[in-house]
Amino acid sequence: MPDGSQFLCPRCNLPLNEVRTSGGILYGCNVCGGRAVTIELLRKRFTPESINPLWLHAMRGKGRAGCPCPLCRQTMIGVALSDGTEIYVDVCQRCHFVWFDAHEVDTLVPRQPEPTPVAAELPQKAREMLAMAEVERLSKQAEGPDFDSAGPDESWKQIAAFLGMPVEFDESEEQRKPWATWLLSAVIICASLLAFLNLRELVQRFGLIPAQATRLDGLTFVTSFFLHAGVIHLTGNLYFLLAFGHAVENFLRPLRYLTLIALAAFIGDLAHIALDPRSQIPCIGASGGIAGAITFYALNFPRMRLAFLMRWGWVWFRWIRLPAWFVFVLWFLFQIIGTLEQKAGMSSVSSAAHLGGAAVGILAWLVWRKSKEESRLLE
């Protein structure tokens, strides 16, 4: 049996972790919670009534095109978990692997242990609960502690975390170089650095002014995206674009990815205008578009763990890992608070633009999360 590093998660494209059990070996993904299990191990753990219909459907080809096999990378066949169910799992007819997404294995009926004097006294419901607890324990074996954990190996991530930035702890393997992210970042850097030479005048001329939103035939919706108020503003936006945009681009491919950022920036600008249509203060920055990208990231990779460095002065340091969905919820709440402060004139940061961009990220995820899996099978 090959080691777990040769198995790739068909959802996240990350190496799977090997989990040894008394009945055999399975392979799990810490990010999406999926599990790759051989049909032989399933037969040892679960009742024939649970497994036989699944395997018969696969052998007869009664299914639809599924995701790539974690081992041979050939397209698996998606079959119904049992007759009359709407739950589909992916089966590799070649490698005899079955891929379960998170919690799908919970629908199988475990084999009952050999009766013992203690077990015989337990009611059926209690024995089923004990069996499911064992399944959950096996699923958790591949996961490590998230508090006071080791930091990432890359030095640049340690520096970014020291400056208060979140960093990816489980970084997915890229199928393609994120050239669209690199190109967009280069254009933003060049435009912003040139604007720094005469920033005040250029912001007044090319910034988005809500009360004059249609000036220059609406060109300021585009030009304001590439302008930034200073080095800190520019560096912060570029960090989030480069750190998290690559995974979104790898999933969506460049055209959809750039479309997502463009629409998020535009809707973010409209949200900023709607908050105070009479404002004469120019709005600049790419954060509305980037908010759409990081929202898509959090929804599409919800279990991707982000590492933070907690510190107290220069003597106390602790790493903590949080799932992307939880970080997004906190960020979203902060943006709501920031929008209220912006409306009251207490903040110069356009949190409303961030919320507008996030709304586009949510809609894009709802539309493209499934179509990506379908299109990948045709490549």
* Contact indicator for 63, 57 with CB cutoff of 8 Å: yes
Q: Is residue 243 part of a domain?
A: yes
Burial readout 29-48 (b: 16 or more C-beta within 10 A, e: otherwise): bbbbbbbbbbbebbbebbee
Separation of alpha carbons 306 and 165, rounded Å: 10
* Contact indicator for 283, 208 with CB cutoff of 8 Å: yes
Output the pLDDT for position 308. 83
Separation of alpha carbons 89 and 156, rounded Å: 39
Same-domain status, 219 and 360 = yes
Same-domain status, 80 and 181 = no
Same-domain status, 228 and 282 = yes
Q: Is residue 326 part of a domain?
A: yes
Output the pLDDT for position 129. 66
Q: Is residue 347 part of a domain?
A: yes
Same-domain status, 29 and 106 = yes
Q: Is residue 113 part of a domain?
A: yes
Same-domain status, 360 and 244 = yes
Same-domain status, 286 and 242 = yes
Q: Is residue 149 part of a domain?
A: no
Residue at which a domain ends, from 115, 140, 165: 140
Quote the domain boundaries for residue 70. Answer: 4-140
Q: Is residue 179 part of a domain?
A: yes
Q: Is residue 174 part of a domain?
A: yes
Sign of CA dihedral 199, 205, 207, 211: positive
Same-domain status, 121 and 165 = no
Question: How many separate domains does the chain show?
Answer: 2
Query: In the chain, where does DSSP find H-type helix?
Result: 39-45, 48-59, 117-121, 124-140, 155-162, 179-195, 199-206, 220-223, 231-252, 254-275, 287-300, 324-343, 351-376
Same-domain status, 304 and 170 = yes
Residue at which a domain ends, from 140, 165, 186: 140
Same-domain status, 135 and 263 = no
Full pLDDT tens readout for the chain, 379 residues: 444 447 788 888 888 887 776 556 778 888 888 888 887 777 777 777 667 777 777 766 667 778 888 887 888 888 876 656 667 788 887 777 888 887 776 666 666 655 544 444 566 666 666 666 655 554 444 444 555 555 666 777 778 877 888 888 766 555 678 999 999 999 999 999 999 999 999 999 999 999 998 999 999 999 999 999 999 999 999 999 998 999 899 889 999 999 999 999 999 999 999 999 999 999 999 999 999 999 999 998 888 888 888 777 666 677 888 888 899 999 999 999 999 998 888 888 889 999 999 999 999 999 987 554 443 433 3
Same-domain status, 173 and 128 = no
Same-domain status, 160 and 131 = no
Sign of CA dihedral 219, 220, 223, 226: negative
